[in-house]
Structure 1
Amino acid sequence: MGNPKAFITIPRKEAGYRPVLERVTDFEEVEQALSQEERKVQASRCMDCGIPFCHWACPLGNRMPEWQDMIYKGKWKEGVEILHETNNFPDFTGRVCPAPCEKSCVLALHEAPVTIRENEASVTEIAFLEGMIKARPPRHRTGKKVAVVGSGPAGLAIAQQLNRKGHAVTVFEKDKSPGGLLRYGIPNFKLDKKVIDRRLRQLEEEGIVFRTSTEIGKDISGAEVMSRFDAVCLAVGAGKPRDISPTGRELEGIYFAMDFLSQQNQLILGEPLTHTGKISARDKHVLVIGGGDTGSDCVGTSIRQGAAKVTQIEILPKPPVGKNSSTPWPHSYPNVLKTSSSHDEGCERRWLLNTIEFKGENGTVKEAVVEEINWQKAENGRLTMVGTGKTETIRADIVFLALGFVHPIHEGLLDELGVVYDVRGNVAVDRESRSSVANVFATGDAVMGASLVVKAIASGRKVAECVHQMLTEEKD
Structure 2
Amino acid sequence: MSTPTGFMEYQRELPSDRDPLERIKDWNEFHRMFSEEQLRTQGSRCMDCGTPYCHTGMELAGSASGCPINNLIPEWNNLVYRGLWREAYERLSKTNNFPEFTGRVCPAPCEGSCTVGLIGEPVTIKTIEQAIIDRAFEEGWVVPQPPKARTGKKVAVVGSGPAGLAAAAQLNKAGHTVTVYERADRLGGLMMYGIPTMKLEKNIVERRIELLRAEGITFVTNTEIGKDISSEQLLAEFDSVVLCGGATKARGLGDIEGAKLKGIHPAMDFLNASIKSYLDSNLADGNYIDAKNKHVIVIGGGDTGTDCVATSLRLDCTSVTQFGTHAKAPDVRDSVSNPWPQFPNVYTLDYAHEEAKALYGEDPRAFSVLTKKFVGDENGNVKELHTVQIRRYVDEQGRKIYEEIAGTEKVWPADLVLVAVGFEGPERTIIDQLGLETDRRSNVKAAYGKYKTSVDKVFAAGDMRRGQSLIVWAINEGREAAREVDKYLMGSSMLP
Structure-2-length-normalised TM-score? 0.92
- Distance in 2 (CA, whole Å) between partners of 1:262 and 1:462 is 29
Equivalence map 1:41-190=2 (5 Å)? 41-56=41-56, 57-190=66-199
Amino acid at match of 2:54: C
- The verdict on how the C-alpha distance between 1:474 and 1:76 changes in structure 2, with shifts beyond 3 A counting, is closer
Q: Note the residue ranges of structure 2 that are not aligned, 5 or more in a row.
A: 57-65, 357-362
Q: Tell me the residue number matched to 1:348.
A: 364
1:166-315 to 2 correspondences below 5 Å: 166-245=175-254, 246-270=256-280, 278-315=288-325
Task: Report the Cα distance in structure 1 between the residues aligned to 2:447 and 2:307, rounded to whole angstroms.
Answer: 35
CA deviation map 1:105-126 (0-9, x unaligned):
1121244111000100011000
Deviates more, 1:239-248 or 1:180-189: 239-248
Letter in 1 for 2:121: A
Identity %: 45
* Alignment partner, residue 413 of structure 1: 430
Q: Secondary structure at the match of 1:451?
A: coil
Question: 1:367-396 CA deviation, whole Å, 9 max, x = no partner?
Answer: 000011112453546552111233110111
The equivalent of 1:368 in structure 2 is 385
Secondary structure (helix, strand or coil) at the match of 1:270 reads helix
CA RMSD of aligned residues (A): 1.9
Is contact 1:327–1:333 with CA below 8 Å preserved after alignment? no
Shift of 1:219: 1.5
Aligned CA distance change for structure 1 residues 154 and 380 (closer, same or farther; 3 Å)? closer
Q: Structure 1 residue 251: deviation in Å?
A: 0.2
Per the alignment, residue 454 of structure 1 pairs with 472
Output the amino acid matched with 2:298: V
Q: Distance in 1 between matches of 2:40 and 2:465?
A: 39
SS of 1:427 mapped into structure 2:
coil
Determine the C-alpha separation between the residues in 2 that align with 1:243 and 1:381. Answer: 22
Q: Give the Cα–Cα distance (whole angstroms) in 2 for the partners of residues 277 and 67 of structure 1.
A: 44
SS in 1 for 2:129: helix
**Counterpart-to-counterpart distance in 1, 2:71 and 2:290:** 40
TM-score (norm 1): 0.96
Which residue of structure 2 aligns with residue 336 of structure 1? 346
Shift of 1:278: 3.0
Q: Which moved more, 1:117-126 or 1:384-393?
A: 384-393
Whether 1:401 aligns to 2:447 is no
- Write the distance in 2 (CA, Å) between the matches of 1:398 and 1:146: 43
Unaligned runs of 5+ in 1: none
Query: 1:81 & 1:442 partners in 2: Cα distance?
Result: 29
Secondary structure, aligned partner of 1:389: coil
Q: Tell me, what secondary structure is at the counterpart of 1:342?
A: helix
- Which whole-Å CA distance do the structure 1 matches of 2:155 and 2:354 have between them? 45
Aligned-pair CA distance for 1:409: 2.0
1:10 aligned partner? 10
**Distance in 1 between the 2:270 and 2:454 partners?**
35
Change (3 A) 1:191 1:308: same
SS in 2 for 1:393: strand
User: What is the DSSP-based 3-state SS (H/G/I as helix, E as strand, rest coil) of the residue aligned with 1:374?
Assistant: strand
- Find the partner of 1:359 among 375, 385, 389: 375
User: Which residue matches 2:333?
Assistant: 323
Q: 2:365 corresponds to which letter in structure 1?
A: R
Alignment partners' CA distance in 2, 1:468 and 1:264: 39
SS at 1:462 equivalent: helix
Per-residue CA deviation, residues 277-325 of structure 1 (Å, 9 max, x unaligned), is 6301111111011111111101100001101111111111111112123
1:408–1:381 Cα change, 3 Å: closer
What amino acid does structure 1 have at the position aligned with 2:355?
E
SS at match of 1:95: helix
Residue range with higher mean Cα deviation, 5-14 or 424-433:
424-433
**How many Å apart are 1:344 and its aligned residue?**
0.8
Asked whether the equivalents of residues 357 and 370 of structure 1 are also in contact (C-alpha less than 8 Å), the reply is yes
Structure 2 residue matching 1:123: 3-state secondary structure? helix
Give SS of 2:37's match: helix
1: CA distance, partners of 2:374 / 2:352: 26
CA distance in 1, matches of 2:117, 2:2: 21
How many residue pairs get matched? 473
Letter in 2 for 1:267: S
Match in the other structure for 2:29: 29
Instruction: State the one-letter code of the partner of 2:243.
Output: L
